Structure 1
Amino acid sequence: MNDIRHLTLRERIYEEIVRMIVSGELPSGAPLDEKALTEKLQVSRTPFREALGTLSKEGLIEIKPYRGFFVRSFSKKETEDLYELRKTLECFAVELAVPQMSDRHIANFERILDEAVAALKADDMVAYGQADREFHETIAELSGNAALIETLSRLALQIQIGRTIANESHTFAEDAARERDDILAAFRRRDIKTAAALMHAHISDVQRTVLARFEEVKPVKR
């Protein structure tokens, strides 16, 4: 999350609601109690609803006329489709990014992965998730493809929810860290084909973990 001292009121509300959704404090399908949340956040209805409008456009909040606001529920099919799209987009990002990578870029990836490992050792899964997200976002940025970067950015919060579910398993997180080390090794060799294949396998592992958990996490009845 960004430092809230540099955010507008609407942005601060947005960030806090995202945190509650990603952490599971506001679970899938849950209604948003406007009165309770505005009191908790100590804000008025206008900026609160502006923040929800943004989240609705990003696919995390559903606005139902005469019923209110709800955390969006993703069906198993929607979740599977999201990860199939993510594999295509991120593998394409790798193919475009690898030729652009300098030694400085490689060093930055090493820093990110070192931070991820340190977070794992400290059992700090929030910091681990942040490093994980930075790793993938940095690859997208290096692709230099504005349309690709924008598309992945629009999907980022939906992907983050899946990432949070997967990272609840410490064993999975350790395996994922090793997979990213393999990807980094391919980056060092500037081996585009291997790096893309490893990224595809990595996201497939996340997909399987999230879908396996899907049956365990039942949406809130409305």
Structure 2
Amino acid sequence: MSAWKQKRFWEQVQVIETAEGFTVELDGRAVKTPAKAGLFLPSRTMAEAIAVEWEAQEEAVNPNTMPCTRSANAAIDKVRIQHAEVADMLADYGDSDLLCYRAETPRELVSRQNDLWDPALDWAESALGVRLLKRQGLLHKRQEAEALQTLRAKVHALSAFQLAAFHDLVSMSGSLILGFAAAENWRSVGEIWTLSRLDELWQEEQWGPDDEAQAEAEIKRQAFLHAKRFYDFC
């Protein structure tokens, strides 16, 4: 963690292409991850975004203003090492996907879920080759094994950098299908985020907004938008 506490010592930030990928150098010194691994990145656009974050640092390095750097560090230091475990954890969302568990009442909410969530399940059938089944109520009922295996294989096929971003797309939306929908540009990332909050927005309509809940939701929204941006850099 000491790397995050360092003061700015550099004058020049450069993106360098190497045999291992793109990296960022500070006055000719390659940036390292917190685990001291090389920061080798899959694309120039990702490296340039990270370079902008380092260039923007003033007296001391503030990781809270460096989301791309943090995501790249997570991909290299964590996801790359535990790729199978992370992929399995995210694939498990398919068996309890947000989009599949529908309200029984009131009628207006049931109708809204059908109108807004069914198109995402339709998209998954055509784009991913999987049709997840809807359930009324909260009682868990397992999805078909073949569908789950198809989704699991697609998650495992993601690179470490993709998976680092995909983790947030899925965990923050509560939906493996919405995670894929965001990654594959089914609709705008803002629309997909709104779909993931359908139930919360319904509650706000009925009882009024809660300032604390809205502030927390905005933090998550920004993180979701960043995850999509980082995924696209891959």
TM-score range, shorter chain: 0.3 to 0.5
TM norm structure 2: 0.32
TM norm structure 1: 0.33
